[in-house]
A = this chain, B = another copy of it.
């Protein structure tokens, strides 16, 4: 089991790495069996997730952390993500589940109302014609 103190260290290292664009380091914190779910996207592969996140990160201009809480084998961050998109600032919650000291799943929760038309227009929504 990963203790709350270890969870904090791992999740923060992962979060700092992906925020700084260091996806090689971020990848070392993801478990071999990894899954990601958000309102609009899902991945069962850490490489696909990181590639998607790297694209999105280009539009991120800042992050205001509201809360970070850590438990044994899990953590939840709550933050306002500032983006250079018409959606502006996006309030977001992110839950991490750890297995053997690595992040095995991420659940991302946010109001996708303003993102759906943007992504549909860009033609990048999964399944879009």
A residues touching B (Cβ–Cβ < 8 Å)?
39, 66-67, 69-71, 74-76, 78, 91-93, 95, 107, 109-113, 116
Contacts A71-B69, A75-B69 given; does A107 touch B91 at CB 8 Å: yes
**Residue of A74, A75, A107, A109 ringed by the most chain B CB atoms within 10 A:** A109
Partner of A78, one of B39, B91, B92, B109: B109
Least Cβ–Cβ distance between A30 and chain B, in angstroms: 19
Residues of B within 8 A of A111 (CB): 39, 109-113
Across the A-B interface, give the 10 residue pairs with the lowest CB-CB distance, nearest first: A93-B93, A39-B111, A69-B69, A76-B76, A93-B109, A111-B112, A78-B95, A113-B113, A69-B71, A112-B113
- Of B69, B70, B109, which one neighbours A92 at CB under 8 angstroms? B109
Contact at B107–A109, with CB atoms within 8 Å?
no
Sample of 28 A–B contacts (CB below 8 Å): A39-B91, A39-B113, A66-B95, A66-B107, A67-B71, A69-B69, A69-B71, A69-B74, A69-B75, A69-B76, A76-B76, A76-B78, A76-B93, A78-B93, A78-B107, A78-B109, A91-B109, A93-B95, A93-B109, A109-B109, A109-B110, A109-B111, A111-B111, A111-B112, A111-B113, A112-B113, A113-B113, A113-B116
